[in-house]
Structure 1
Amino acid sequence: METIGVTAVLGIIVSIVCIGVSWYALQVFRFDLFVKKADSGQAKLLQIILSIFIGYGVARFFIDYLGWSLLLRNFF
Structure 2
Amino acid sequence: MAIAGIINILLSLVFIALSFWALQAFRFDLFVSNPKGPQSKLLQILLSIVIGHNVASFFADYFGWTQLLRQFF
Shorter-chain TM-score tier: over 0.9
Q: Does 1:34 align with 2:46?
A: no
Gaps of 5+ in 1: none
Distance 1:32 1:51 in 2: 17
- Per the TM alignment, residue 32 of structure 1 is displaced from its structure 2 partner at its CA by 0.2
- Per the TM alignment, residue 48 of structure 1 is displaced from its structure 2 partner at its CA by 0.2
The amino acid that maps onto 1:44 is K
Distance 1:41 1:12 in 2: 27
Q: Percent identity?
A: 53
Normalising to structure 1: TM-score of the pair?
A: 0.95
Query: Aligned with 1:36: secondary structure?
Result: coil
Gaps of 5+ in 2: none
1:8: which partner in 2? Answer: 5
* RMSD between superposed Cα atoms in Å: 0.3
The amino acid that maps onto 2:16 is I
Stretches of 4+ aligned residues off by more than 6 angstroms: none
